[in-house]
A and B are shown apart, each in its own frame.
Chain A
């Protein structure tokens, strides 16, 4: 049995759990309280110093970066359950949107979760979100017609951003996308 070590924050730990639910992969979920010194020490004792961490019993070490987790879990499931397709063009499309969402949406929203106000982060978002709004005008998901890792990330980040700002009227496609995202069975398990 694999173990997924996670904490309430940051958003990447929620995305990791969502990936497991979407792919229907069975993992033992281990919630860590990062404020608790005993929890932190226990994690360090088993060689884990960042979260999320997907620990595989038969192998040393662990996966922490989201695409690494997705790619590894993708080897365990059927092709239609993979969040990063194995074909070159499909894989490229998902990877380029993961990169976009991670760097231009996830990073500033993550910083806004830590900082009360940051005009630089808001400025970056006002540059990056319009392209996503336009993209979702004629397609359901970020990388085409199937749900992917880019959607796991974008949905979680948008939900986090809604707690920080009112943006739905400015980006109606993204607002509709977030509503669809939150109706997903896997998302409701979060």
Chain B
């Protein structure tokens, strides 16, 4: 199986998909849309006209696999990798998927709006006043819920196993911490500490970390410290 992922290093969904690939121990080629040459980029857009990322291409699959959670599902169903990102039990898997969607809509989406604006990254459509209000409200609501969820847990969002929900949450929290301290949420901070200990998280950071450097003035002191400690920058 030969897989190639098209991603943007500062896109939260791309980070999540890359994290899932590393968590599965997959062998893949990572292609940053930013670093692609004109010819390669044109070929990509011809095959995938919307240009939305991340997209996984696999020699064994005749179609593009679009979206971070779909890529993770693909790895689970067809990848043949020993991964615990999704439980085999139907009811447990339903809970993990539901939690993943909660994190995606409540934290990752609002953070990606804020992140893109702070870094002046291009967006396919400019968010209007309504989207900004919704994003702010969702983020305000979701952080305390996730903080409460971690009460009494020394593991992960869905239990003792790092799951798809954690793949979604870790990059979103990383971006949150890039902009502001996580101190009001001590359990989430400890949780993010645990994410930093994971080899796959560090591999993902090494892939995207170079780009963080360009925004050195914007990064919070704690994140800079962590990136140095992990030898990402």
Contacts and interface: CB of A to CB of B under 8 A. Distances in A.
Interface stretch (A29-37, A98-106, A168-176): A98-106
Interface residues of B, number: 28
B126 interface: yes
A103 B90 CA distance: 25
Give the interface residue-count category, chain A: 20 to 34
A108 B77 contact: no
B51 A127 contact: yes
Interface in A65-108: 65, 67-68, 71-72, 75, 86, 88-89, 91-92, 95-96, 99-100, 103-104, 108
B14 interface: no
Contact of B77 (A71, A86, A92, A104): A92
Contacts, number: 73
B73 A96 contact: yes
Contacts of B66: 96, 99-100, 103-104
Contact of A99 (B49, B70, B76, B105): B70
B93 to A, nearest CB: 9
B67 interface: yes
Q: Is the interface of B mostly helix, strand, loop or mixed?
A: helix
Contacts of B189: none
A124 B124 CA distance: 8
A118 interface: yes
A124 B101 contact: no
Interface of A: 49, 63, 65, 67-68, 71-72, 75, 86, 88-89, 91-92, 95-96, 99-100, 103-104, 108, 111, 114-115, 118, 120-121, 123-124, 126-128, 130-131
17 contacts: A71-B94, A88-B77, A91-B73, A92-B78, A96-B65, A96-B70, A99-B70, A100-B66, A100-B67, A103-B66, A111-B128, A120-B125, A120-B126, A124-B52, A124-B125, A127-B49, A127-B51
